[in-house]
Amino acid sequence: MRLYMAGLAFAAAIFLARAALAEDTDMPPVDYPAIPAKVGDRAQLVPPGWTLEVEAKGDLDGDKRPDLALIIQSEKPDIAYSGEPTVGPRMLVIGFASGKGYDRIITNHRLIPRQESTNVTGYLAESGPLEIKRGRLVVTLNLFMTAGGWNTWTNSFSFVMQKGKLRLVRFESNNWHRRTGETTLTVADYRARTLRITRGSMQNERKKTESSKLTGPARLTLDQIGNGLQFDPAPKSSNHD
């Protein structure tokens, strides 16, 4: 019973921390710029008033030519719910190699959430936040709260291109509580349709793993994920595309 109650408290702490990341309707609206459908070079995928933050190159569509994945950021700081300035909002932009330039295939500004508080880090993982490897696009987000919560976690999304859409094939989330040392590793394999959750502690090597069948849509797209730091691989209900 004690372990059960501790698990409930740990889960509640994660829920409350993630609830703080919910889209705040009081935040000012962002006028996200349109990205041209065809460009001659990478620079044209970065509109005026935005800067290139992270870039990855690799073949995503199987034509053996290097495609582009960019994370761009607005030069205009966002405003937290407290009224304080934070970092500018971000966009994920995907361009496929075409002729002497690129075809803009995808833009997304929801996976990387807007920073609503000055008490959290900038959400991109310090190491390898954006990669293209073996035909997969991997985006890794990180949350570290300097005040207001003990939980920190890293969420990694692996996508493949199918029928013109980025579809999730693997999700991995590492969570640990800095005060208690409790850890949770969640791995969702969308091809094998399996969900594995491993709980442990930084204080010892004991771990407990629970495995189950992954529910929800079999072909979850980038746009269906929404806020990448709130993503739940086992939702109560899901929408199919």
Instruction: Confirm whether 230 is domain-assigned.
Output: no
Instruction: Confirm whether 168 is domain-assigned.
Output: yes
Instruction: Confirm whether 231 is domain-assigned.
Output: no
Instruction: Confirm whether 241 is domain-assigned.
Output: no
Residue 162 exposure: Cα atoms within 13 Å on the Cβ side: 13
119 within 8 A of 105, measured Cβ to Cβ? no
Number of domains the chain is built from: 1
Query: Cα(68)–Cα(161) distance, rounded to whole angstroms?
Result: 13
The predicted-structure confidence for 209-227, as pLDDT tens digits, reads as follows 999 999 877 789 999 999 9
Instruction: Confirm whether 236 is domain-assigned.
Output: no
Question: Residue 43: is its pLDDT beyond 70?
Answer: yes
Query: Cα(169)–Cα(207) distance, rounded to whole angstroms?
Result: 25
Using DSSP's 3-state secondary structure scheme, residue 240 falls into coil
pLDDT, position 84 = 84
Share of the chain above pLDDT 90, in %: 54
Give the rounded distance of the alpha carbon of 179 from its chain centre: 25
Instruction: Confirm whether 239 is domain-assigned.
Output: no
Mean pLDDT in the chain?
Answer: 83
pLDDT, position 203 = 67
* The residue to which tokens 């939702």 are assigned: 235
Instruction: Confirm whether 234 is domain-assigned.
Output: no
Q: Which of 150, 182, 151 lies closest to 6 in space, CA to CA?
A: 182
Token couple for 145: 């709260």
- pLDDT grade, residue 22 (50/70/90)? very low
- pLDDT grade, residue 146 (50/70/90)? low
- pLDDT grade, residue 15 (50/70/90)? very low
Tell me the residue range of the domain where 28 lies: 2-225
91 within 8 A of 50, measured Cβ to Cβ? yes
Q: Which residue has the higher pLDDT, 218 or 187?
A: 187
Q: Which residue has the higher pLDDT, 96 or 163?
A: 96
Token couple for 133: 């490897």
Instruction: Confirm whether 235 is domain-assigned.
Output: no
